C-alpha cells in the first residue's frame, strides 16, 4: 500500500529531490497547498476505488495517515 | 475621474422581501442546484425555495423558536440556505458555525452564544450530536438532512407544509424588526479570540443592495458556491446577491468536488479568495509546462490583454483550453478575504476573465468596497459601497460607519467599545482613497508594531521583502523580545525552504547572511534584529490569514542577526 501511495504522490508532485517516507508531511514537505491536496486525494480515489470524504482529508497530516486510511477502507471493502 | 452611475437596485427592507421578490420575478428559474450520486442534478426553483422557507419557518414557529438563537452547521447545501432563511424570516437569530471546528470548539461557541437549537446537515450529524453533548445547555437538535441524497428536513418540512395547507398563517404574520440582531457570525479570530458579530436584517440588506449597485450580473448567470457559507462574504456577496439577480447557484460541498462542479455547471461568475485564484493560475501554467506550451500560453495571454485594451475580447477563442479548467464559460471572479497580487488579475484578464477585487470585514456585513464590472483597477479594492461612509483616520486607519456596520460584539461591551471611535468602526486596516475614488489598502493596522521610539511598523511590508528570498517560504515579523538601547527591535519568525538548506545549522547560517543582506537595504528601525526558524508553516484561519496572536509566545530561541 505504501509503495502505491508513494508512487501516486511522486507522479503528482514531480520532484526528484523528494524522499517520501511515512513521516512526510503532506502539505509542508510535499510543497502543496490545501486545494492541491484535494486534487492529490482524487488520484487516490481513482487508484483505490474509494470515496474519501473531505472531513477525513483534514486528518491527513503525514503520508502514513493516508496509508492507514486506505488500508482500513480496503479491509472494509473486502 | 471616470464616473459611472450606480446600478439601479430595487428597494427591499429585509431578507424575506428579497426572497419573495425573486420568487415573484423569477418563479420557475433555478435558484439552487446540488449534485447527487451519478452526477444527477437536483434543482430548486425560486418559487419552490420560497414555499420551502414558508413551510420550514412555520415548523420552526410550531417548535416555539420565534426569537430563539439557532446555530447552523453544515457543508454548502440547499439545506443550509433553507434553514438560514427560515430562521431569519421568523424573527429568530442564526448563528452560522464553521464546519471545520472540532465538536469541542462548536460546543464552546454554542455555549457562548446561548444557543437554543442546533440545525445541521446530514453530513454533520456526529459533530452536532457531540457538540450538543458537550455544551452544557439544553439544545434542540434539528437534522436538516440533505437535498442531494434525499431526505431534506424529513420531519419538519412535511409538518410545516401540512400546517400551511391547513391554513396556519403564523409565518406570514411574523413582523420582522429590521434593527434586531438576526445573525451572529463568529469572526475568524486573527486578532484574538473569536467574537460573535451582531448583524441585523438592516445591516445585511443594506450591504446586499450596495453590492448589487456596484457589481451586476443577471438571471442568466450561473455561479458555483465553494467558499464556506458561514462566512458573511459568501452568504452576502454570493448567495443573497444572486437571489436578488435571480441567478442559479450550484452548491459545491467542498473543494474536492469543485472540478466536477465546474465541469458540469460551467459557471459564468465565481466568488473566491486569493488561494483559489492563485492555485487555478498555477494549475493552468503547470499543465502548459507539461505540454511544453508555456511560452505559447504566456504569449497568448499577452496578446489577449493587448486586444482587450483595444476593445476586442478574444480570451475565449485564443485560450479555450486553459479556460476549460473553470468549465469554459467563466467571465468574472469576485475576489476578497485577503490581498491578491495584481499579476494574477492580469493573467486572468488575458483569459477573458475579469477579477474584481473587493474588501470587507465581517463586522460590516461584510462588504466595504469592490471593483465594478465596467470600472476596475488592479491594485485597488474598488469603490466604497453606498451604504457606508469611509474616512481615513490617523496613520491611514480605515474607518467606516453606515447601515452595514454591526451593532457590536456579542456579550462583549469592552471589545465593542474598543472597536468604535466616535461612532466610526475601526476596521484595523490601513489605506487611502485615491483621486480616482478607489480604495487602496496598505496593511493591517491591528498588526501594527509600535516601537518604543514611536515608529509604527507594518510587518507585512518587511514580510514581503523577506519572502522575496528564495530561502524563505513564509515570514512573520513581530516585536522582538529583547530591547537594544531602549528600542524594541523587530524579530522574524521564518518558515524557510528547508529543501534548499542543509540541516538546521546550515539554515541558521544561510538565513543570518540573507537577513543581514536585506537589512542593509532597510531603514534602521525596519531592520530585523533576531529570527527563529520554524519547522512548519504558520497556522492560518479558514480565510488563510496567519493567526498572529498565536505567535506571541513563539519568540524563544531567537538568534541574533
How much is the ipTM here? 0.87
Determine the Cα–Cα distance for residues B442 and B380; give it in Å rounded to an integer. 10
Helix ranges (H only) for B98-193 are: 103-112, 125-134, 156-165
Residue A27 sits at the chain B interface (C-beta within 8 Å)? yes
Helix ranges (H only) for B26-116 are: 46-62, 78-88, 103-112
φ and ψ at residue B303, rounded to 5 degrees? -65, -45
Distances (CA, A) of B168 to B58, B66, B159, B161: 8, 15, 11, 9
Residue A16 sits at the chain B interface (C-beta within 8 Å)? no
CA distance A9 to chain B (A): 16
Tell me which residue in B256, B535, B536 faces A38 most closely, judged by beta carbons.
Answer: B256
DSSP lists the bridge partners of residue B270 as B333
Q: What's the angle, vertex CA B556, arms to CA A60 and CA B553, rounded to 5? A: 65
Taking the domains of chain A in order of start, what are their residue ranges? 2-77
Residue B254 sits at the chain A interface (C-beta within 8 Å)? yes
CA distance B277 to chain A (A): 11
End-to-end CA distance of chain B: 48
Cell numbers representing residue B199 in the block: 448583524
Structural contact between residues B31 and B44, judged by C-beta atoms closer than 8 angstroms:
yes
Determine the Cα–Cα distance for residues B305 and B348; give it in Å rounded to an integer. 9
Q: Is B395 left (phi over 0), alpha (psi -120 to 50) or beta?
A: left
Residue range B15-207 in CATH 3.40.50.12780: yes
Q: What's the angle, vertex CA B325, arms to CA B322 and CA B329, rounded to 5? A: 90
* E strands present in B336-471: 354-360, 367-370, 383-384, 388-392, 397-402, 408-409, 420-421, 424-433, 439-444, 449-450, 456-457
pLDDT of residue B18: 97
**Where along chain B do the CATH 3.30.300.30 domains lie?**
451-560
Cell numbers representing residue A53 in the block: 470524504
Per the CB < 8 Å rule, is A35 touching B255? yes
Per the CB < 8 Å rule, is B279 touching A36? yes
User: What CATH number does the domain located at B451-560 have?
Assistant: 3.30.300.30
Residue B102 sits at the chain A interface (C-beta within 8 Å)? no
pLDDT of residue B484: 36
**Where along chain B do the CATH 3.40.50.12780 domains lie?**
15-207, 269-328+330-445
Q: What's the topology of domain A2-77? A: 1.10.1200
pLDDT of residue B265: 97
DSSP B283-316: HHHHHHHHHT-HHHHHHHHHHHHHHHHTT---HH
Cell numbers representing residue B220 in the block: 442568466
Determine the Cα–Cα distance for residues B250 and B81; give it in Å rounded to an integer. 12
Residue B406: which residues within 8 A CB-CB, separation 6 or more?
A: B197, B198, B199, B203, B362, B363, B364, B365, B425
* E strands present in B297-396: 332-335, 354-360, 367-370, 383-384, 388-392
Q: B255 to chain A: which residues are within 8 Å by CB?
A: 34-35, 38, 54
Is B208 exposed, middle or buried, given 0-12, 13-18 or 19+ CB atoms closer than 10 A?
A: buried
φ and ψ at residue B433, rounded to 5 degrees? -105, 120
CA distance A34 to chain B (A): 9
Distances (CA, A) of B215 to B4, B238, B278, B366: 12, 11, 22, 15
Residue B25: which residues within 8 A CB-CB, separation 6 or more?
A: B46, B246
Nearest to B390 by CA among B425, B436, B351, B352: B425
DSSP lists the bridge partners of residue B388 as B402
pLDDT tens, residue order, chain B (561 aa): 455 788 999 999 999 999 999 999 999 999 999 999 878 999 999 999 999 999 999 999 999 999 999 999 999 999 999 999 999 999 999 999 999 888 888 999 999 999 999 999 999 999 999 999 999 999 999 999 999 988 999 999 999 999 999 999 999 999 999 999 999 999 854 444 678 999 999 999 999 999 999 999 999 999 999 999 999 999 999 999 999 999 999 999 999 999 999 999 999 999 998 888 988 998 899 889 888 888 988 888 888 888 888 888 877 777 888 899 999 999 999 999 877 889 899 999 999 999 999 999 899 999 999 999 989 999 999 999 999 999 999 989 999 999 999 999 999 999 899 999 999 999 988 999 999 999 999 876 667 675 655 455 778 878 888 988 999 999 999 877 544 333 357 889 999 999 999 999 999 999 988 988 887 777 666 778 888 999 988 888 776 678 776 665 566 666 666
Q: B537 to chain A: which residues are within 8 Å by CB?
A: 27-28
Q: Given pLDDT bands bounded at 50, 70 and 90, which one contains residue A74?
A: confident
**pTM for the whole structure:** 0.82
pLDDT of residue B528: 85
Determine the Cα–Cα distance for residues B240 and B215; give it in Å rounded to an integer. 13
Structural contact between residues B388 and B402, judged by C-beta atoms closer than 8 angstroms:
yes
Number of CB pairs, chain A paired with chain B, less than 8 A apart: 35
- What residue in A sits closest to B257 (Cα-Cα)? A38
B36: enclosing H helix or E strand: none
Per the CB < 8 Å rule, is A33 touching B258? no
- What residue in B sits closest to A40 (Cα-Cα)? B256
Tell me the helix, strand and coil percentages in chain A, rounded to 5. Answer: 60, 5, 40
Per the CB < 8 Å rule, is B256 touching A34? no
Determine the Cα–Cα distance for residues A15 and A31; give it in Å rounded to an integer. 10
Residue B538 sits at the chain A interface (C-beta within 8 Å)? no
End-to-end CA distance of chain A: 15
Nearest to B33 by CA among B66, B69, B81, B1: B81
Per the CB < 8 Å rule, is A33 touching B275? yes
Residue A19 sits at the chain B interface (C-beta within 8 Å)? no
CB atoms within 10 A of CB B557: 8
What count of Cα atoms within 13 Å lies in the side-chain half-sphere of residue B365? 31
Residue B411 sits at the chain A interface (C-beta within 8 Å)? no
pLDDT tens for each residue of A24-47? 877 656 767 778 888 899 999 999
Cell numbers representing residue B513 in the block: 547572511
Structural contact between residues B549 and B446, judged by C-beta atoms closer than 8 angstroms:
no
User: What CATH number does the domain located at B269-328+330-445 have?
Assistant: 3.40.50.12780
B210, B211, B217, B222: CA torsion to nearest 10: -140
Q: B272 to chain A: which residues are within 8 Å by CB?
A: none
Residue A51 sits at the chain B interface (C-beta within 8 Å)? no
Q: A53 to chain B: which residues are within 8 Å by CB?
A: 123
- What residue in B sits closest to A58 (Cα-Cα)? B100
pLDDT of residue B483: 41
User: How many helices and strands, by DSSP H and E, does chain B display?
Assistant: 18, 27
Cell numbers representing residue B427 in the block: 476596521
Is B174 exposed, middle or buried, given 0-12, 13-18 or 19+ CB atoms closer than 10 A?
A: middle
Q: B253 to chain A: which residues are within 8 Å by CB?
A: 54
3-state secondary structure of B144: strand
pLDDT of residue B60: 98
Tell me which residue in B100, B256, B276 faces A41 most closely, judged by beta carbons.
Answer: B256
pLDDT of residue A13: 87
Considering only CA atoms, give the Rg of chain B. Answer: 25
Three-state secondary structure string covering B338-366 = CCCCHHHHHHHHHCCCEEEEEEECHHHCC
Amino acid at each position: 500500500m505504501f509503495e502505491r501511495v508513494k508512487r501516486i504522490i511522486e507522479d503528482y508532485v514531480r520532484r526528484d529531490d523528494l524522499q517520501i517516507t511515512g513521516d512526510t508531511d503532506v502539505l509542508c514537505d510535499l510543497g502543496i497547498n490545501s486545494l492541491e491536496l484535494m486534487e492529490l486525494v482524487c488520484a487516490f480515489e481513482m487508484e483505490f476505488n474509494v470515496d474519501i470524504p473531505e472531513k477525513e482529508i483534514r486528518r491527513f497530516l503525514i503520508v502514513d495517515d493516508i496509508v492507514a486510511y486506505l488500508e482500513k477502507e480496503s479491509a472494509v471493502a473486502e | 475621474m471616470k464616473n459611472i452611475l450606480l446600478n439601479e437596485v430595487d428597494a427591499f427592507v429585509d431578507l424575506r422581501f428579497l426572497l419573495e421578490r425573486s420568487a415573484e420575478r423569477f418563479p420557475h428559474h433555478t435558484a439552487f442546484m446540488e449534485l447527487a450520486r451519478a452526477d444527477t442534478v437536483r434543482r430548486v426553483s425560486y418559487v419552490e425555495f420560497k414555499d420551502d422557507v414558508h413551510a420550514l419557518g412555520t415548523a420552526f414557529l410550531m417548535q416555539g423558536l420565534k426569537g430563539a438563537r439557532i446555530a447552523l452547521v453544515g457543508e454548502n447545501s440547499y439545506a443550509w440556505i433553507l434553514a438560514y432563511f427560515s430562521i431569519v424570516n421568523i424573527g429568530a437569530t442564526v448563528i452560522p458555525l464553521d464546519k471545520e471546528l472540532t465538536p469541542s470548539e462548536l460546543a464552546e461557541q454554542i455555549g457562548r452564544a446561548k444557543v437554543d437549537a442546533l440545525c445541521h446537515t446530514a453530513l454533520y450529524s456526529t459533530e452536532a450530536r457531540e457538540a450538543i453533548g458537550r455544551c452544557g445547555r439544553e439544545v434542540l437538535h434539528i437534522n436538516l438532512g440533505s437535498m442531494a441524497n434525499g431526505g431534506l428536513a424529513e420531519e419538519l418540512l412535511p409538518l410545516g407544509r401540512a400546517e400551511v395547507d391547513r391554513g396556519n398563517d403564523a409565518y406570514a404574520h411574523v413582523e420582522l424588526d429590521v434593527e434586531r440582531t438576526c445573525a451572529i457570525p463568529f469572526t475568524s479570530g486573527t486578532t484574538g479570540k473569536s467574537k460573535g458579530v451582531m448583524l441585523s436584517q438592516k445591516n445585511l440588506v443594506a450591504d446586499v443592495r450596495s453590492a448589487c449597485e456596484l457589481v451586476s450580473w443577471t438571471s442568466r448567470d450561473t455561479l458555483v458556491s465553494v467558499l464556506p457559507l458561514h462566512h458573511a462574504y459568501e452568504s452576502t456577496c454570493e448567495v443573497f446577491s444572486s437571489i436578488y439577480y435571480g441567478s442559479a447557484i450550484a452548491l459545491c460541498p467542498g473543494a474536492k468536488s469543485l472540478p466536477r462542479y465546474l465541469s458540469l455547471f460551467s459557471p459564468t461568475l465565481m466568488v473566491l479568495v486569493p488561494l483559489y485564484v492563485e492555485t487555478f493560475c498555477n494549475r493552468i501554467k503547470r499543465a502548459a509546462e507539461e505540454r511544453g506550451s508555456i511560452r505559447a500560453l504566456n504569449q497568448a495571454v499577452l496578446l489577449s490583454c493587448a486586444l482587450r485594451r483595444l476593445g476586442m475580447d478574444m480570451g475565449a477563442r485564443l485560450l479555450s483550453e486553459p479556460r476549460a479548467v473553470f468549465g469554459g464559460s467563466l467571465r468574472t471572479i469576485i475576489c476578497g478575504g485577503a490581498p491578491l497580487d495584481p499579476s494574477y488579475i492580469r493573467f486572468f484578464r488575458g483569459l477573458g476573465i475579469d477579477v474584481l477585487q473587493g474588501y470587507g470585514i465581517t463586522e460590516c456585513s461584510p462588504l466595504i468596497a469592490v471593483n465594478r464590472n465596467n470600472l476596475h483597477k488592479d491594485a485597488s479594492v474598488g469603490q466604497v459601497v453606498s451604504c457606508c461612509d469611509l474616512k481615513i483616520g490617523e496613520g491611514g486607519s480605515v474607518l467606516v460607519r453606515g447601515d452595514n456596520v454591526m451593532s457590536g460584539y456579542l456579550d462583549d461591551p469592552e471589545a465593542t467599545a474598543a472597536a468604535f471611535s466616535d461612532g466610526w468602526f475601526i476596521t484595523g486596516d490601513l489605506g487611502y482613497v485615491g483621486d480616482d475614488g478607489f480604495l487602496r489598502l496598505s496593511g493591517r493596522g491591528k498588526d501594527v508594531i509600535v516601537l518604543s521610539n514611536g515608529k509604527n511598523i507594518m510587518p507585512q511590508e518587511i514580510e514581503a521583502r523577506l519572502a522575496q528570498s528564495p530561502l524563505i517560504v513564509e515570514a512573520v515579523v513581530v516585536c522582538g523580545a529583547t530591547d537594544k538601547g531602549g528600542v524594541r527591535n523587530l524579530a522574524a519568525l521564518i518558515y524557510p525552504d528547508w529543501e534548499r538548506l542543509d540541516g538546521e545549522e546550515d539554515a541558521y547560517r544561510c538565513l543570518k547572511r540573507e537577513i543581514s543582506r536585506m537589512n542593509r537595504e532597510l531603514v534602521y528601525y525596519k531592520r530585523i534584529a533576531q529570527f527563529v526558524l520554524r519547522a512548519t508553516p504558520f497556522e492560518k484561519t479558514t480565510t488563510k490569514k496567519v493567526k498572529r496572536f498565536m505567535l506571541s509566545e513563539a519568540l524563544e530561541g531567537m538568534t541574533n542577526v
